[in-house]
């Protein structure tokens, strides 16, 4: 804890008397632990300040503190915490209720859980109006429809009567924003407003926030995603361990970061520029040494896969529609698409976890998807899998050693003794950047990145020829994601592993893949080498995806 931190902050805000919100030397502690350590910032009307950081940086706690909802047991101190003329440090609970919703609007991430699922969308959107005594029932209902219309929700009367689960992710997020801006608050705080959204939807939501900014609303954008920030923010404050390590105009911070952590964060974002290199700072210049890809007979071959599901309305939907592809030994094939594109279903069919109505998957030229379960079981170990959420695929009571020992016995050469098993477990852990000390650890005591490493070790244990990865880095912070992506490429260079890599993240796919399939509504709309797809897209949908994709480079355009 240093008192030093308040000095530069005070200097920075001294010249900004027209700030709508002024924060100086804000400190938040839970129990004895300080999670926000003296940060200062300010924001003027019509501007957007982004607070960027990874999980645990204190960015969300900061956001909550600004609406007086830090949580029970928190102690909040600040030299200055003012919204317009109001000193927020001395506001009682009753007055806070008057400020929330009317002076400060708040948008949380993932509207699926941030809207009350049991109430109608209209009631949720209109709730701030009702709470702050705006109009009567009839005029509020009209206003709700106006608001939904204003945020671009089609058929607003109908949507207002529906419940959040009946809306798509994008519409839900719009409804959530409509509720936050219902009373036209001068300050809007958006905490990860586009996380969990597809890129095209994300672009729409960002446009919506930009429109709000145009009208003079001040926006504080909390995000872990530098590319999202680049699209909207005028200023960026990078937070780490409760401190702001760098603060400046967006273009400047992203183009010429001064702090080492900011540089590492930017380097860790996978994109076309990072292809063929490692992502973790310090090693980015090291090019990969690829093993040759065997373009002879494909390792995995999928022909005309078709899968039909019956929807809740009793109507059949073709989720996978005539999908064909092949994967050669030693290469990485990426499947990219938005939610509902059928990419995960395709992966499950490739794994033969799911039967297909039509088509066939062959492994090394031999039948695979058409085998009976009994005949396939001895071959199962040849295809491994890594999921997005490793924790739910582990038995939480099993220590790491047991998880891996179990996987080893499934391979073609099960260990013959306890000693051999332990040796091989330690070797696996070392391969994925863990060690002997993790053998006895339970998965619950591992960090997200470590869990994913264990999941990769488990997939490697039976020495598979192919590993199917379904969104394996989507739940990780960008710097951890970089480490895990590096691990994937290192393993491929060392062991010659083949990957079928599923992701919604275009940057990840471009960084990692040799060849790419773009899926939409169950069909492959475009296929080709990664550079063909991302640099010279032919299909209209691929082009749209790439246009919607927020990029770091955008920060350097049209600003400063």
Partner 1 sequence: MSIALDTRPSVRSGARAAQEAARKAPALLGKVLSAVLVLIAAASVTFFAQLLIPGDRATTILNLQTGRSQKWSAAELAPVNEKFGFDHPVLVQWLHYVGGLFQGDLGTSFTQYRPVTQVIGDQLLPSLVLTLSALVVAWLLALTITLLTVKRGRFVSGLGSSWEAVTASLPPYWVGVVLLVLFAVKWPIFPVIGGTDLWGTVLPVLTLAIPLAGFLGQVTRDEFEKVLDQPFVTTARTRGMSDTGVRLRHALRHSVLPAITLSGWALGALISGAVIAENIYGRPGIGQVLVTAVNTRDVPTVSGIVLVVAAVYVVANLLVDLAFRLVDPRLAVSKGGQR
Would you count residue 296 as binding partner 1 (CB under 8 A)? no
Nearer to partner 1, 96 or 398 (CB): 96
Would you count residue 396 as binding partner 1 (CB under 8 A)? no
Centre a 10 Å sphere on the Cβ of residue 87 and count the other Cβ atoms it contains: 11
Question: 207 is written with which tokens?
Answer: 């446009």
Would you count residue 314 as binding partner 1 (CB under 8 A)? yes
User: Which of 7, 8, 165, 412 contacts partner 1 by CB under 8 A?
Assistant: 165
What is the crossing angle of helices 448-460 and 418-431, to 10°?
Answer: 130
Nearer to partner 1, 153 or 530 (CB): 153
Q: What is the DSSP string of 418-456?
A: HHHHHHHHHHHHHHTT--GGGTT--GGGS-HHHHHHHHH
User: Which of 27, 59, 80, 159 contacts partner 1 by CB under 8 A?
Assistant: 159
Q: Residues 88-127: x/- map of binding to partner 1 (CB under 8 A)?
A: --------xxxxxxx-xxx-xxx--xxxxxxx-------x
Contact yes or no for 443/450 (Cβ under 8 A) = no
The stretch among 15-23, 158-166, 320-328, 525-533 that binds partner 1 (CB under 8 A) is 158-166
User: Which of 128, 156, 507, 522 contacts partner 1 by CB under 8 A?
Assistant: 128
Question: 512 is written with which tokens?
Answer: 């990692």
Dihedral-angle region of residue 365 (phi above 0 means left; psi in -120 to 50 means alpha; beta otherwise)? left
Contact set for partner 1, span 514-553 (CB under 8 A): 544, 548
CB of 89 to partner 1, least distance (A): 19
Contact yes or no for 101/183 (Cβ under 8 A) = yes
Would you count residue 176 as binding partner 1 (CB under 8 A)? yes
Contact yes or no for 185/104 (Cβ under 8 A) = yes
Would you count residue 313 as binding partner 1 (CB under 8 A)? yes
CB of 3 to partner 1, least distance (A): 32
CB of 175 to partner 1, least distance (A): 11
User: Which of 69, 256, 495, 535 contacts partner 1 by CB under 8 A?
Assistant: 69
d(CA 488, CA 503): 14
User: Which of 44, 77, 163, 303 contacts partner 1 by CB under 8 A?
Assistant: 163
Sign of CA dihedral 494, 499, 501, 507: positive
Nearest to 41 by CA among 212, 180, 191, 246: 246
**Tally of residues, the chain:** 560
Would you count residue 168 as binding partner 1 (CB under 8 A)? yes
Q: How many CA atoms lie within 13 A of 192 on its CB side?
A: 17
Would you count residue 346 as binding partner 1 (CB under 8 A)? no
Using CB under 8 A, list all residues that contact partner 1.
64, 67, 69, 96-102, 104-106, 108-110, 113-119, 127-128, 131-132, 154-155, 158-159, 162-163, 165-168, 170-171, 176, 179-180, 200, 203-204, 207, 309-314, 544, 548
């Amino acid at each position: 804890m240093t008192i030093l931190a308040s000095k530069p902050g005070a200097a920075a805000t001294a010249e900004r008397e027209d700030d709508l919100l002024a924060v100086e030397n804000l400190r938040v502690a839970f129990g004895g632990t300080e999670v926000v350590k003296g940060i200062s910032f300010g924001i003027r009307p019509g501007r957007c300040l982004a607070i960027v950081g990874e999980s645990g940086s204190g960015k969300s706690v900061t956001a909550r503190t600004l609406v007086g909802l830090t949580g029970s047991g928190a102690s909040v101190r600040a030299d200055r915490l003012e919204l317009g003329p109001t000193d927020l440090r001395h506001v009682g609970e009753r007055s806070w209720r008057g400020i929330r919703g009317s002076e400060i609007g708040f948008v949380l991430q993932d509207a699926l859980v941030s809207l009350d699922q049991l109430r109608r969308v209209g009631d949720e959107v209109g709730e701030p109006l009702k709470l702050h005594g705006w109009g009567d029932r009839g005029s509020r209902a009209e206003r709700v429809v106006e608001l939904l219309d204003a945020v671009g929700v089609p058929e607003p009367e109908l949507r207002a009567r529906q419940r959040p689960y009946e809306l798509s992710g994008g519409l839900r997020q719009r409804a959530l924003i409509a509720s936050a801006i219902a009373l036209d608050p001068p300050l809007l705080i958006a905490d990860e407003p586009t996380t969990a959204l597809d890129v095209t939807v994300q672009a729409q939501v960002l446009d919506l926030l930009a429109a709000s900014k145009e009208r003079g609303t001040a926006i504080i954008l909390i995000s872990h995603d530098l590319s999202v920030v680049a699209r909207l923010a005028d200023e960026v404050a990078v937070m780490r361990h409760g401190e702001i390590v760098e603060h400046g105009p967006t273009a400047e911070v992203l183009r010429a970061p001064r702090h080492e952590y900011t540089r590492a964060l930017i380097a860790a974002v996978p994109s076309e520029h990072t292809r063929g290199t490692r992502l973790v700072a310090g090693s980015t210049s090291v090019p990969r040494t690829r093993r040759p890809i065997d373009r002879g007979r494909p390792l995995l071959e999928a022909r005309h896969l078709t899968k039909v599901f019956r929807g809740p309305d009793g109507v059949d939907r073709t989720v996978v529609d005539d999908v064909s592809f092949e994967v050669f030994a030693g290469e990485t094939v990426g499947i990219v698409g938005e939610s509902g594109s059928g990419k995960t279903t395709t992966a499950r069919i490739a794994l033969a976890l799911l039967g297909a109505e039509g088509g066939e998957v062959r492994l090394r030229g031999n039948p695979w998807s058409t085998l009976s379960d009994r005949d396939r079981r001895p071959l199962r170990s040849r295809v491994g899998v890594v999921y997005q959420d490793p924790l739910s695929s582990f038995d939480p009571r099993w220590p790491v050693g047991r998880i891996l020992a179990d996987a080893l016995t499934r391979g073609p050469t099960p260990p013959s003794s306890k000693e051999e098993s332990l040796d091989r477990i330690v070797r696996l852990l070392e391969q994925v950047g863990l060690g002997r000390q993790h053998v006895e650890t339970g998965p619950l005591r591992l960090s997200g990145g470590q869990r994913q490493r264990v999941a990769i070790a488990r997939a490697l244990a039976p020495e598979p020829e192919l590993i199917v990865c379904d969104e394996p880095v989507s739940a990780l912070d960008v710097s951890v994601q970089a480490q895990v992506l590096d691990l994937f490429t290192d393993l491929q260079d060392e062991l010659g592993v083949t990957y079928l890599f599923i992701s919604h993240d275009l940057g990840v796919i471009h960084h990692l893949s040799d060849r790419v399939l773009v899926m939409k509504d169950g069909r492959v709309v475009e296929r080709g080498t990664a550079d063909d797809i991302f640099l010279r897209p032919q299909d209209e949908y691929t082009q749209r995806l790439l246009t919607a994709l927020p990029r770091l480079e955008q920060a350097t355009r049209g600003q400063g």
